[in-house]
Amino acid sequence: MMKQQFALDRSAGKVMGVCAGAAETTCVDVTFLRIAAVLSLFLLGPISILLYLVTAWIAPER
Per-residue confidence (pLDDT) for residue 57, from 0 to 100: 95
Mean pLDDT (whole number) for 30-50: 94
- Per-domain residue ranges for the chain? 18-58
Averaged confidence pLDDT in the chain: 89
Mean pLDDT (whole number) for 28-51: 94
Mean pLDDT (whole number) for 12-33: 91
How many degrees, rounded to 5, is the angle at CA 9 between CA 46 and CA 20?
60
Dihedral sign, Cα of residue 3, residue 22, residue 44, residue 56: positive
Mean pLDDT (whole number) for 27-55: 94
- Is-contact 52 1, C-beta < 8 A? no
pLDDT tier at 10, thresholds 50, 70, 90? confident
- pTM value? 0.82
